[in-house]
Amino acid sequence: MILVVVAVFVAIPTIMFSGTAGLSSLFAGVFSVLAGVILFLYFIVAEVTRGVTVGKSAMHLKVVGPMGGNPSLIQSLVRNLSKIYWVPLLLDVVLGLATSKQYTQKLSDKLVGTSVAQ
Q: Domains in the chain: how many in total?
A: 1
Q: Which of 55, 70, 60, 61 lies closest to 113 in space, CA to CA?
A: 70
Distances (CA, A) of 1 to 39, 48, 107: 12, 19, 30
The helix (run of H) or strand (run of E) holding residue 115 is strand 115-117
Tens digits of residue pLDDT in 23-51: 666 666 777 778 888 889 999 999 999 99
**The predicted structure's pLDDT at residue 23:** 62
Grade residue 86 by pLDDT with cuts at 50, 70 and 90. Answer: confident
Mean pLDDT, rounded, of the chain: 83
Average pLDDT over residues 62-89: 92
Q: Which domain holds residue 59?
A: 2-117
**Model-wide pTM > 0.85:** no
